Structure formats: structure tokens, C-alpha cells
Structure 1
Amino acid sequence: MKILFVTSELAGLVKVGGLADVSAALPRALEQVTGDEVRVLLPGYPGVLAGLREAAPVADLPGLAEIPPARLLGARGPDGHDLLVIDCPGLYDRPGTPYTDLAGRDWADNDIRFARLALAAAQLAHGLPGLDWQPDVMHVHDWPAALAPGYVAWNDGRQPVPTVTTIHNLAHQGLFPAGRLGALGVPEAGFAMEGAEFHGQLGFLKAGLWYASEVTTVSPSYADEITTPELGCGLHGLLGGLRDTGRLTGIVNGADDSWHPRDDPYLVRRFDLATRDEKQRNARAVRQRLGLAQRPAPLFSLIARMVWQKGVDLVIDACETLVRAGGQLVVMGTGDAALERRMHTLSHRHPGSVAVRIGYDEPVAHNLFAASDFFLMPSRFEPCGLTQMYAQRFGALPIAHRTGGLRDTIDDGVTGFLFPDSSVRSLLGAVRRALLTFNHRPGMGRMQREAMQREFGWDAPAREYHRVYARVHSRALAAGRTSACHE
């Protein structure tokens, strides 16, 4: 099948979070494992345009209401994959992230910017003059692309294209004032509870859920959790209905093979299951680089956005106990300024035992996984998570809250340690279990071997997504035949 993959991030060109990694790895796996032909559609941010190969205009994208027209470029990404890129400098040629300016403020015209992405997807789905390619299924990711199924549905009676919407994080929904309907070309009929309306606002993600043929999310446990009032972010009723009709599926993400200690170019010393003792050389190098004392202490690491969701405050509150027990802690991340300041205070209070790196550095991150004995992931909720998979591959046993994809990818007491609730007491209970294991070397070695042997590749997820595509495509074909018979 031909799949149009619609995303706002793509690793190798533009990355804010795990969405970029999925957007790069899943299309490759689909083509290699299932034979599907996948083209990735994304906005032409400066970094994207600079990284393209063989870029050339392939079609014109008409505007709608206040959404400007644009050019569509056909190109190849750094890895040679086929891309479709929206060339619209007025919307995308600016500094900052895809979503915010350099000061971290949301762009005031984000509704227009991502409506342009969604509208381009719908226009591609219905066929563009001059472009000899039309998808069988459209797969959109998170709120920036999620208005696309709405535009497909509001198509003046043309045959709908089957669509799949994937939720990577339900907490981010893309909500805009109802007064923006006209500017975005959203019909009044679409602004209803059975449509894009969410508590009086226009919800991009709500449209993506309501109008999609099927909805997926990034782990089976998170698929269950988002049907509850606690984690459903006000959409639990809609999501529960999708589940009850068999149109909500949880598929665990894979982990890209670039995160593997046997051939990682960033490591001081590469290793595999048979040579995992080489972790100690990496640990010595990390301690020297980050100013930690050179001692045979259990090394804990945390690589995360410093925000409430990630439970960073729990680690801060648990740090004193962890250090008194002889542990060392390395933290890398950026986010909430207050959490960053508290982390810096800890590093000054415990020189040689706590190191903090504000920001993100890819080589350092790889070396942290290679050096660490334990990897902290106390997220209050976690749709899937990738770092706990990377950690297990590197023999860094994750210590994680029993939620979402963490519950689905960590085997408690076998490949890591799970704790039951988001509290310091619960986290410290898991830390104490980890320290006991560290001091029992046969048990520690056994758990590291189990963790490093776990398979977290993309082949199995690709097959599951292909089954979803095949299902929605078959239903669309059947609906088309039924409509033809009625005519």
C-alpha cells in the first residue's frame, strides 16, 4: 500500500522529542518489513530545507481561507528516504523550534502553520495535479497533523481516504479559539461535539480522533489509561467509544538500531552482551568528564525534559537519600527554570556525587547510557517512552513508575524496577531494591544480561501498523463498493 505519513518532526532534520525518532524509523521499517511505500510529509523549516537532497517542486498547494498557498517539494532526506516538504517561508522560515520562538513562547500563528500541514495532507490524499502519487492510507501524528482527517471529511462529497491518527501524548491537544474557524476554513458543521469542538474551543487532536478511521497510541497500557478520567484529558469518553468499537489500538514503539552499544560511534568503549564489563571504562570516562569522584559507586542517570510529567521533582526530593546511600547521580535535560535551579543547587551541595548538564548533548547521552548502572524514569505518565528501551540495551537497569509504555517494556525484577505510584517514598523503595541488587553482583549481572537481550526493534510494530492500514483500507474499499451499488 501507499502510505502518506504526516508529521511535524523528523529525526536527522528537525527534532524536539520522540515523535521525530518514530517518524524516521517507522517508515523505514514499513518499507523493509511489509513492502509498503511510505512518503513522509512535513513542514519546510530552515533545518529541513538545508538537509534535503535532490529537492525539486512537484506540485502547488492551494490555499484555503487564511491558510496561504504553498509549493510542495519532492526530496530525499539524509537517509535517502522519500519526503514531501511544504515550502512556505512565511510560515516556517523562522528561528526556534517547530512550535516556539527562541524564548520558548508558542508562535501566535501556530493554528495557521499546522492547519497548512493538515490541509496539504488532505489535498495530497485527494490527489494533486502534476503529482503522480496518491496514498491508499493517510497516517497523521499528534495534534500538529490531526486536523487532516477533518479536512478529508469536509471534502464536498468526494470519496473519503482512510485515515489513521496516532496519539503520542494526549496532554498536548492543539486547542485554539472558536473564532478561528473561518480563518482555518473549518465549516460550522464541523464545530460540534461530534466533530472538532472541545469545551468551546477548536481541538485539532479532537478532530483527528473523531474523523479518523482508526486511532492508535504508542503502547497498550496507555491505550487503556486514556479511556479513564484520570489520564483521558477530557477525551476519555470519545476514546472509550473508540475502544469499544475496536478502533483504538496500542502499539509499542520500537527503538532505533543507532542506539546499541555494540556499534555506537559515540562510546569511549563499545561493548555487547559478552563484553559488558567494558561499561566500567565508559563509567570512568563519564565520571572524569562530568566531575564525579572516581569510586565504585552505583551510577544513576536521568535524561529527560525537566517538567512535571517526567517526575523530575521526585528525583530532586529523593537525591539526598540516594547520595547518603553511596550513589552518584547524573542529570541531563532542560525545561522548567525552577527545576533547573533546584538541580544546580543539588550539584553544588554534593560535588563529586551529583552532576547536572542543562540542555541536551547527543554524544554525552549515549555515553551516559553506556556508563550507568541504573536509569531513572519516574514519569507521572508516559505514553511509551524510548529511553527506557535504550537503557536496557546498554545494560542500565531502568527504575520507572508503573505506567503506560514503561509497564509494557520493563519486566519488574528481571530487566528493571517498577514502582507503583508517583511519590518519593515509592521511588525510593525501587531505588533501595536497585542498591541491594547492585551489591549482589551475580543478581546484577543476571538482570543486565536479561535487559540487554530484550528485542525493541521496529519490525514487530511495523507489522502491527500494516495490519491497521490493511483493515482501514479494506473497510474503505467496501464502503466505496456499497456507495457505488446504491448509486
Structure 2
Amino acid sequence: MTPVEGKLNILMAASEAAPYAKTGGLADVVGALSKALAARGASVSVFLPFYSQIDQSRFPLKSTGQTIAVPVSGRLETGEIFSHELAGVRYYFIKNDSYFNRPGLYGTNEGDYPDNAARFVFFSRAVLESAKVLNLRPQIVHSHDWHTGLIPVYLNTAYAGEPSFQETATLFTIHNLGYQGIFWHYDWHLLNLPWEYFNPEALEFYGKINFLKGGLIFADALSTVSPGYAKEIQTAAYGHRLEGVLRKRRKNLYGILNGIDTEEWDPSRDPHIASNYDTKTLQGKEKCKAALQKEVGLPVQKDAPLLAMISRLSEQKGIDLIVSAFDRMMATGAQLIILGNGDKEYEMRLEALAKEYPQQAVVKIAYDHPLAHRIEAGADIFLMPSKYEPCGLSQMMSLRYGTVPVVRATGGLDDTITQFNPDTLKGNGFKFKAYTATAFFRQVQNALSLFREKKKWRALIRNGMEGNYAWDASAEKYLNLYKRIHNKKRGEK
């Protein structure tokens, strides 16, 4: 596939993208942003690992007939390039079964794969080698999170004189600074970089190698997934020991709020839910609630407020606040459904709590995309008490489905949720600042109190459903940023 004349030529690289492979919001963002950029006339190529989990009955990947050889340590690892087109985007998949034919994307419940450094060294260089053999000549290389943090590094080192990338500008997006790709220094040989780059001004990080730090230092520009998070990560509280690096690069750091795929997340035509609805037909949401209660084994009670949480079960997501406030939430008579998986300790604790309240609480330890749709449609209140949240997508999905968010005022949650005022009927949810179970439960109580005032509750629901959560505005901001950094790159030549 050669570049199309007159179109901005963008190469995306990520470890996951919906609908092919997904563990979290990164996949949703890469898939939806790529689609939105293509809809605006850009030429978009997305590179992913060829994971064994990809459903080839739905997505028949075809070999391009091209292979690559990538240096990893003192050996050459080969890869075959497959492709698939979806929504105007050309997806490329790097096939290497020894690295990607595994049960999980990054690891199992027991922990990360011990060779993740080698896996993503291979993938990062494989993307660049593939771009060469496919003659893509990208104007922009946009890499996402630590898994592709080495791509800007290699473009400035091993590929610095490569004709295919002479006018290529780089953007590196931080989706979650808490995950950095940190490996011990004995893995340095895998990177095939001179030791001079193992220093605090480059990839060295407290005696270890930090893949994400490579992206922060070597990319032409940086972005993160909400304006609030862009500010937070420059502070010690949220910077995960990289706040100094980020402050140095603050003039090249942009916060662009994520959107959601409003075609997939649309209650008026969602095929996964019991009854479609919009702001004029909210009785459809009541039918979804009854169907959800029946599906998960809760008593079908219209007047019992149904709380929900769909989340990775990790410390970041505020699961400890859920655990601490669990008994108090149950004492209100509310019902609760939690869907997610993650840390074994949290999985076991939540399951044990749910067993104490079999008529009120259900915990599903799973990743279940269709059920997630039915929960968004059937729940009354959605809980997101995150310790930190770069952007968050679930609160926007909830708003679109008329499910009222209760969130902690951090990052993208603070950017997207406005406290509801029952006097003016303005606002779209409830939020709290202090990271305590008491502060969290107080806002849950406020939501439950308003739930009984049906007229005001309907006004709150409509406020959320009428908001704009599409990628349109954010995609335009990305396009403008691409053009700015590409023009600057060309001006430097």
C-alpha cells in the first residue's frame, strides 16, 4: 500500500485495538480514533501484533506476502505481515507465533510474561521494518503507551538516516502513566542500542530500562487523553516519578480528551440490549433494567436503584473504596452488579462480599462485551471511584445510556462530569474529591436520594444522554497537531 497523494499519511502503532484485540480502553481509543481520522480524509495504517485471540472467522486476515527480519539481541527474529481493512482503515498485523501465539496479550492472572521486553522490542522494530517493505512513507508515526515507546527512539537512532522516514514526525500518546514497561538493565542487549542511551537523559530509570520514558524523550510531541490528566502527570502525586521529564516537555505536551464510538454505543440501535430507547422513549431503559436483573439473578424490582461497575479490578480503579463502602451501599437497599477481572485479591474479596448479599449483589469475574452493553443500558447509577483516571470511557458510555455516573474528580472524569444541581437541573452526574470511602459513599447517597425524585432524575438522565461524546472534535485536534508537528519537522530539514 503506497501513500495516497494529498492525504495526510498516518501510521499508528499500538499493542491492541478494537475490535481485533482488547484488554481495556487503549483498544477502544485506537480503533475509534483511527476510524474518525479516516472519515476525515486521512490515510491511516494501524500496526498490531497478530495475537492468537483475534477472531479470524470475523476478521479474515490476509498475508501481504511480505516478511521482515528484526534484530533482537544477537539474533534475527522474523515476522510475516498480514492485513485487513475496516471502516476505511488499513490494519497490519505482525505475525510471530513465538511472541504472540499465547493465551493473553501481556500475561496471565499469575503475572506479566517474563519476556515482554523482547516481545515489544521486536514489535517496535517490526513496525518500522514493515513500513519500509510496504513503502508506506508515513508523515506521522503515532505510537501509543509503553509497548510502542521505543519507536520514536529507533526513529532517532537506528533509523535516523533511513529515506522512508526522512520527513516523519512522531507523536507519542500516554494512555496510562502507571504502566511504563520497566525492565531490568540486563535486558539492554535486546534493544541493540549503544550503552550511551542507558542514562537518565534517555532510557535509564532508577537503574532500569523504561520503554515509556523513551517515547516521552524522543517523540516530537506528546499527548495524553484528557486536559486534566496532562496537568496532573506533571505533579509528584500523579507523575509516577516521571513528572520531571514531563515538566521539561510541557511545551510539547497536549491533553486531548478521548471520545467514544457513538455508532457502537448507541441505545437507540444497540443490538445487545433488551429494548432500544432514546430521551423520548425512556421506558425502554426500564425494560433493559428488568431484563438485566433477570439475567444476572437479581430480584426484578423497578424501584430498587441498580448500581453498576464495569472495570479492570486494580488499585487504580478505586476497588478498595467499593470494598470499604460495600456494606453501607447494601444497607440502602440498592442492588449492585460488578463486571470485570484483574487482581486476584480484589476478585476474591468482591465475590465474597457478593455472597453475603445474594439478593442484592452480583459479581461477574469476566470480560464480557455484550453484557457490558446490557449493564450500561440497565443500570441506574455507574460507579467510577478511581484513584486516578487518565480519561475514562465508561462514564461517557454511561451518560449516553442514561446511567448516572458517580466519579472521583480526577483526570478525564473531572473533565467530563459536572456535579448535578437539583435547583437549576444543570449537571450530568456526581463527583467527589477526597479519596476516601466516606466521600465516595456520600455522593452515592446523593445519587440514591435524587433517584427517588423521578422528575429531577429524568432531567439528569436527559442531560447526560444529550451530551456529545463523539470523536469529531478530538479527531480534528489530532489532525491539527499532526500537521503542526509535520510542518515543523519539514522546516528543520
Distance in 2 (CA, whole Å) between partners of 1:393 and 1:366 is: 11
1:106 Cα deviation from its structure 2 partner:
1.5
1:252 aligns with 2:257: yes
Give 3-state SS (helix, strand or coil) of 1:186's partner. Answer: coil
Q: Contact conserved, 2:71 with 2:192, CA < 8 A, in 1?
A: no
Instruction: Assess if the C-alpha contact under 8 Å between 1:66 and 1:184 holds in 2.
Output: no
Alignment partner of 1:139: what SS? strand
Write the deviation string for residues 443-486 of structure 1: whole angstroms up to 9, x where unpaired.
10111000000111111111111111111101110011xxxxxx
Aligned to 1:402: 409
1:115 partner letter? V
Query: Is 1:63–2:77 an aligned residue pair?
Result: no
Distance 1:74 1:349 in 2: 50
1:183 aligns with 2:196: no
Alignment deviations for residues 40-76 of structure 1 (CA, whole Å, 9 cap, x no partner): 0111212348334333223524435346332342411
> Could you list the per-position Cα deviations for residues 115-150 of structure 1 after superposition, in whole angstroms to 9, with x for gaps in the alignment?
11111233356x33xx23210110000000111111
Which residue number in structure 2 is paired with residue 484 of structure 1?
Answer: none
Output one character per residue of 1:254-309: Cα deviation in whole Å (capped at 9) or x when no partner: 11120110110011011011101221111111111212122211111011111111
User: Which of residues 107, 115, 121 is equivalent to 2:113?
Assistant: 107
Tell me which of 270, 274, 279 is aligned to 1:264.
Answer: 270
Alpha-carbon distance between aligned partners in 1 of 2:98 and 2:459, rounded to the nearest angstrom: 56
Aligned to 2:423: none
Structure 1 segment 108-123 matched on structure 2, within 5 A: 108-123=114-129
Map of 1:173 onto structure 2: 180
Contact 2:227 2:256 in 1 (8 A): yes
Partner of 2:477: 464
Asked if residue 42 in structure 1 is aligned to residue 48 in structure 2, the reply is yes
Give per-residue Cα distances to partners, 1:350-397, cap 9 Å, x unaligned.
121111111122222111111111000001000011100000000000
1:91 match: 99
1:155 aligns with 2:161: no
TM-aligned CA deviation for residue 179 of structure 1: 2.0
Code of the aligned partner of 2:32:
A
1:63 is paired with a residue whose SS is strand
In 2, the alpha carbon distance for the partners of 1:346 and 1:79 equals 43
Taking only the aligned residue pairs, the percentage that are identical comes to: 35
CA deviations on 1:381-420 (whole Å, 9 max, x unpaired) are 0001110000000000000000000011111111110111
Distance verdict in 2 for CA 1:292–1:49, change over 3 Å: closer
Contact 1:38 1:82 in 2 (8 A): yes
Instruction: Please tell me whether the aligned partners of residues 228 and 236 of structure 1 are also in contact (alpha carbons under 8 angstroms).
Output: yes
Contact 1:279/1:370 (<8 A) preserved: yes
Cα RMSD, aligned residues only: 1.7
Contact 1:16–1:97 (Cα < 8 Å) also in 2: no
Partner of residue 193, structure 1: 200
Q: SS state of the match for residue 382, structure 2?
A: strand
1:450 aligns with 2:460: no
The equivalent position to 1:132 in structure 2, one of 131, 135, 144, is: 135
Structure 2 distance, partners of 1:109, 1:219, is: 32
CA distance in 1 between partners of 2:446 and 2:325 (Å): 14
* 2:215 is the alignment partner of 1:208: yes
Q: Distance in 2 between matches of 1:211 and 1:72?
A: 28
The answer to which of 296-305 and 184-193 deviates more is: 184-193
Q: Is the 8 A contact 1:12 1:78 kept in 2?
A: no
In the alignment, is the contact (CA less than 8 A) between 2:61 and 2:82 conserved in 1?
A: no
Separation in 1, partners of 2:298, 2:54 = 38
Tell me, yes or no, if structure 1 residue 351 matches structure 2 residue 358: yes
Match of 1:301 among 308, 323, 342: 308
> Where does the alignment leave 5 or more consecutive residues of structure 1 unmatched?
481-487
Matched, 1:222 2:206: no
- Measure, in 1, the Cα distance between the counterparts of 2:142 and 2:55: 22
Instruction: Choose from 75, 85, 98 the match for 2:83.
Output: 75
Query: Who is 1:379 aligned against?
Result: 386
Q: Secondary structure at the match of 1:418?
A: strand
Cα distance in 2 for partners of 1:151, 1:107 equals 23
| 2:28 is aligned with 1:21 | yes
2 CA distance for matches of 1:212 and 1:278?
48
Query: How far 1:156 moved relative to its partner?
Result: 6.4
Q: Flag the 1:299–1:15 CA change in 2: closer, same or farther, 3 A.
A: same
The match for 1:142 is 145
Greater Cα shift, 67-76 or 220-229:
67-76
Q: Contact 1:330/1:356 (CA < 8 Å) preserved in 2?
A: yes
AA paired with 1:44?
F
Aligned residues: 472
Give the alignment partner of residue 30 of structure 1, picking from 37, 58, 62. 37
- Tell me whether 56-65 or 427-436 shows the greater mean CA deviation: 56-65
Question: Could you tell me which amino acid in structure 2 is paired with residue 144 of structure 1?
Answer: H
